[in-house]
């Protein structure tokens, strides 16, 4: 689809809220201030696993200035959570991870609240900590949840002890496939826990009215989702809670769940005053929801000509102390273990396992960077052992148009083999890197994104401008994209459009800004609503102009007869006629159900240089191709690809939450948890592969783009290291220490 077919969509547009954000005018959670505001602080466990023998808040309650102290006694006894209802607002009987909340204090001065925490007396019986997810599943030193059988959970979940869920996928006959294979390869891969690293820590402000109505301001990716979780945790109705999403300083999946909202509400309810709670960086590391660590074992059979025949895969994901998240994680990941390749015989066994670590949840493409690092490292090992070029090996086994994927959707748009060839061209794959100890590596993967149910409303204002009311939070510039769609359909400039995120009391219901679904789901509903508004106005104009609707056009803030531009009406005139002579002011809305998922291919080629004396890996170049369907805003899409790839660089080379054998987190700060700076990241070259989606509703054929770019980065860098110096690192991060050790062992 050529760019010239559209006037606004398909063009690179800067964010409409950019100036507000960079000048400090945007209202973030910490900017919310209310009369009589109290500050809340949380007492957190210093142990990863321990029984609570005694908890005494008496001295804290007597400290001058303290307005309230709350514990599990002040919270509902019934656990809540995602698919498994296994979590309480405050720890009861025992703590299951370092940083778990035990109590909270409110005072006018945050320093007084912090001082009160020191006066709370707690006695513990320390228990063995369960850290390794495979050990936790097979030979645990302790159960994280002794009463796991009592938790409410879907009957479809296969649970046992520390195994929160088991899932498997069987296709063909894997044993027969191995018998038919000429060569069998095996490998084990391990990936560490990683934090989202958003710039703004969690913050929530709660106010409970005398009639029980709850208002919460919070930094969140989805106010309706958090409202629903909060209602369940507090055991109250949705209608009693008004959730207002503030501006958000990054999320990446880390602001999809409850964190500070429940204790803030309970403190406000007890004091009758509004309460603000803010995490410091250490708290955010200790007690939020990072990416799951993972162990993967692969066994793959292949013909000597490079044809993949069979694979047996096993994985163990650590989910932390609680099974946070609203989906069946094992069942979601297991079908992806074949990657974007045709493997006729497949057997996958997947375990999601409780450990004594922070509860894990979503982080940009949940589950995929871990398994892609494993199977793409594995693919590279096979290609080299077979004497094949890495790209040619992947092309030979790539899914083709019309092939079903193991996760459901038929691949019907982009050509993976063609993308692999394009990757070779864009990255200079077939030329040798210049310089010593330099190498290139490739990572190839796919992600699926659909659209969650949601709705939007669009209205024409008296002056001819257009207002869009949405309930979705703008995390990645989606409000700009929605404005582009309205401008395209209405034939007006973007500066005549205002997109507003309402709250749960006044906005149309919208999905959480996650899963790469907003541009597609909300873009689709806004487009349909705008089409309906446009038709209303055309019908009004047709009646007034005594013309047929099909003979009218809408451009430049006017509706006019095609071929006779002087015969027409302005938007102001149409508003007045609609409001006074038709059914009322022009407004339209549209609601959609779940949109079917589409496949997004993502390929990255990394070039690195390795220092053989230190093991340090320097990333020199990164080429990132992505199947985007249709780029609604190419500037924004390129930014998402670059940002995701940079995040993948940190995941590949340095980011790791390090735990001792006792389960205590050893690096809960940004000094010891190394996120890449601008000095660590080279040019990232985004290459957009545009072939509009045709299967399923979508605005102009667009696909979700936010998550895929983080998926193949670590694999590409790991394979580049091998190409440069001949050592294979099978665990993330690919630290200098690991590389140096491997180089010494190679000698």
Beta bridge partners of 447: 600
Q: Which of 324-338, 382-396, 657-671 has the lowest mean pLDDT?
A: 324-338
Tell me, what's the pLDDT at 410? 67
Mean pLDDT on 541-556: 96
Residue 1 pLDDT > 50: no
Those residues whose C-beta lies under 8 Å from the C-beta of residue 294, and which sit 6 or more positions away, are: 133, 190, 191, 315, 316, 317, 318, 367, 370, 371, 374
Closest CA to 535 of 514, 558, 518, 554: 554
Asked if the 368-449+598-746 domain carries CATH number 3.30.365.10, the reply is: yes
For the question of whether the overall pTM of this predicted structure is more than 0.75, the answer is: yes
699: alpha, beta or left, given left = phi > 0 and alpha = psi -120 to 50?
Answer: beta
pLDDT tens per residue, range 142-152: 999 999 999 99
Which stretches of 157-237 are assigned E, i.e. beta strand? 158-160, 163-171, 183-191, 203-208, 214-218
Confidence of residue 406 (pLDDT cuts 50, 70, 90): confident
First to last CA, the chain: 54
Residue 409 pLDDT > 90: no
Residue 574 pLDDT > 90: yes
- pLDDT cut 70: percent of the chain above it: 99
- Distance, CA of 206 to CA of 224 (rounded, Å): 16
- Distance, CA of 252 to CA of 605 (rounded, Å): 23
Mean pLDDT on 224-248: 97
* Average pLDDT across the chain, whole number: 96
- Is residue 72 within 8 A of residue 266, CB to CB? The reply is no
Matching CATH number, 3-25+453-592, of 3.30.565.10, 3.30.365.10, 3.30.930.10, 3.40.50.360? 3.30.365.10
Q: Do domains 3-25+453-592 and 32-127+199-250+255-287 have the same CATH topology?
A: no
Q: Please name the residue that has the structure tokens 């491997």.
A: 742
Domain residue limits, the chain: 3-25+453-592, 32-127+199-250+255-287, 368-449+598-746
pLDDT tens per residue, range 690-744: 999 887 789 999 999 999 999 999 999 999 999 999 999 999 999 999 999 999 9
Query: Using N-to-C axis directions, what is the helix angle for 518-545 and 478-490, rounded to 10°?
Result: 20
pLDDT tens per residue, range 253-298: 999 999 999 999 999 999 999 999 999 999 999 999 999 999 999 9
Beta bridge partners of 414: none
Asked if the 32-127+199-250+255-287 domain carries CATH number 3.90.1170.50, the reply is: yes
Q: Which of 179-188, 255-264, 406-415, 551-560 has the lowest mean pLDDT?
A: 406-415
Q: Please name the residue that has the structure tokens 């949705």.
A: 238
Please give the DSSP secondary-structure letter assigned to residue 594: P
Tell me, what's the pLDDT at 201? 97
- Is residue 197 within 8 A of residue 650, CB to CB? The reply is yes
pLDDT tens per residue, range 83-113: 999 999 999 999 999 999 999 999 999 999 9
> Residues for the chain: how many in total?
747
The per-residue DSSP string of 230-261 comes to: HHHHHT--GGGEEEEE-B-S--TTTTSS-SSH
Tell me, what's the pLDDT at 329? 86
């Amino acid at each position: 689809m050529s760019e010239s077919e559209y006037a606004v969509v398909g063009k690179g547009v800067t964010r409409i809220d950019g100036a507000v954000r960079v000048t400090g005018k945007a209202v973030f959670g910490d900017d919310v201030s209310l009369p009589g505001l109290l500050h809340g602080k949380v007492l957190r466990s210093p142990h990863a696993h321990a029984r609570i023998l005694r908890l005494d808040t008496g001295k804290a309650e007597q400290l001058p200035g303290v307005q309230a102290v709350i514990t599990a006694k002040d919270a509902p006894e019934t656990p809540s959570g995602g698919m498994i209802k296994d979590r309480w607002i405050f720890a009861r009987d025992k703590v299951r991870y370092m940083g778990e909340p035990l109590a909270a204090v409110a005072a006018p001065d945050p320093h007084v609240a912090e001082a009160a925490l020191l006066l709370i007396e707690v006695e513990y019986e320390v228990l063995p900590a369960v850290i390794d997810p495979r050990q936790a599943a097979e030979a645990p030193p302790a159960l994280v949840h002794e009463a796991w059988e009592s938790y409410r959970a879907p009957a479809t979940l296969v649970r046992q002890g520390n195994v929160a869920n088991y899932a498997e996928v069987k296709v063909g006959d894997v044993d027969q496939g191995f018998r038919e294979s000429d060569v069998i390869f095996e490998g084990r891969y391990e990936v560490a826990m990683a934090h989202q690293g958003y710039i703004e820590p969690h913050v929530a402000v709660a106010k409970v009215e005398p009639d029980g109505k709850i208002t919460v301001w919070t930094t969140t990716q989805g106010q309706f989702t958090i409202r629903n979780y909060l209602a369940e945790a507090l055991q109250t109705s949705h209608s009693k809670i008004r959730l207002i999403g503030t501006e958000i300083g990054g999320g990446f999946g880390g602001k999809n769940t409850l964190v500070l909202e429940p204790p803030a509400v309970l403190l406000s309810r007890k004091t009758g005053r509004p309460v603000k709670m803010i995490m410091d960086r250490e708290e955010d590391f200790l007690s939020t929801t990072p990416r799951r660590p993972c162990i993967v074992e692969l066994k793959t059979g292949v013909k000597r000509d490079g044809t993949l025949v069979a694979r047996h895969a096993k994985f163990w994901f650590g989910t932390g102390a609680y099974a946070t998240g609203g989906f069946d994680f094992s069942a979601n990941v297991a079908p992806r273990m074949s990657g974007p390749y045709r493997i006729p015989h497949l057997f996958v066994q997947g375990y999601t396992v409780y450990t004594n670590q922070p509860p894990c949840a979503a982080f940009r493409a949940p589950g995929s960077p871990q398994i892609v690092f494993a199977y793409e490292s594995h693919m590279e090992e096979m290609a080299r052992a077979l004497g094949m070029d890495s790209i040619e090996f992947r092309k030979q086994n790539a899914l083709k148009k019309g092939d079903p994927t193991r996760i459901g959707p038929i691949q019907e748009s982009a050509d993976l083999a063609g993308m692999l060839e394009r990757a070779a061209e864009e990255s200079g794959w077939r030329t040798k890197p210049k310089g010593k100890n330099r190498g290139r590596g490739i990572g190839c993967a796919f992600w699926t994104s659909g659209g969650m149910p949601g709705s939007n409303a669009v209205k024409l204002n008296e002056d001819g401008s257009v207002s869009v009311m949405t309930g979705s939070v703008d995390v990645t510039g989606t409000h700009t994209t929605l404005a582009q769609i309205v401008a395209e359909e209405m034939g007006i400039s973007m500066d005549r459009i205002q997109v507003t995120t309402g709250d749960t009391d006044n906005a149309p219901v919208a999905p959480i800004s996650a899963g790469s679904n907003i541009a597609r789901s909300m873009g689709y509903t806004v487009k349909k609503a705008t089409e309906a508004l446009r038709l209303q106005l055309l019908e009004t104009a047709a009646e007034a102009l005594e013309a047929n609707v099909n003979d009218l056009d809408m451009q430049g803030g006017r509706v006019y007869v095609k071929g006779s531009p002087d015969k027409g009406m302005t938007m102001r005139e149409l508003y007045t006629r609609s409001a006074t002579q038709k059914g009322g002011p022009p407004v339209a809305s549209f609601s959609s159900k779940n949109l079917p998922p589409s496949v997004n291919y993502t390929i990255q080629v990394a070039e690195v240089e390795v220092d053989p004396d230190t093991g340090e890996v320097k990333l020199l170049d990164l080429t990132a191709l992505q199947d985007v369907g249709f780029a609604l805003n190419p500037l924004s899409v390129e930014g998402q690809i670059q940002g995701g790839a940079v995040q993948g660089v940190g995941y590949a080379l340095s980011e790791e939450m390090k735990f001792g054998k006792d389960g205590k987190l050893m690096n809960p700060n940004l000094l010891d948890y190394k996120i890449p700076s601008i000095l660590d990241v080279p040019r990232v070259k985004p290459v957009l592969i545009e072939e509009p989606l045709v299967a399923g509703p979508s605005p102009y054929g667009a696909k979700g783009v936010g998550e895929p770019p983080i998926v193949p980065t670590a694999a590409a860098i790991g394979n580049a290291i091998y190409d440069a110096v001949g050592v294979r690192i099978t665990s993330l991060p690919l630290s200098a220490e690991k590389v140096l050790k491997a180089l010494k062992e190679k000698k």
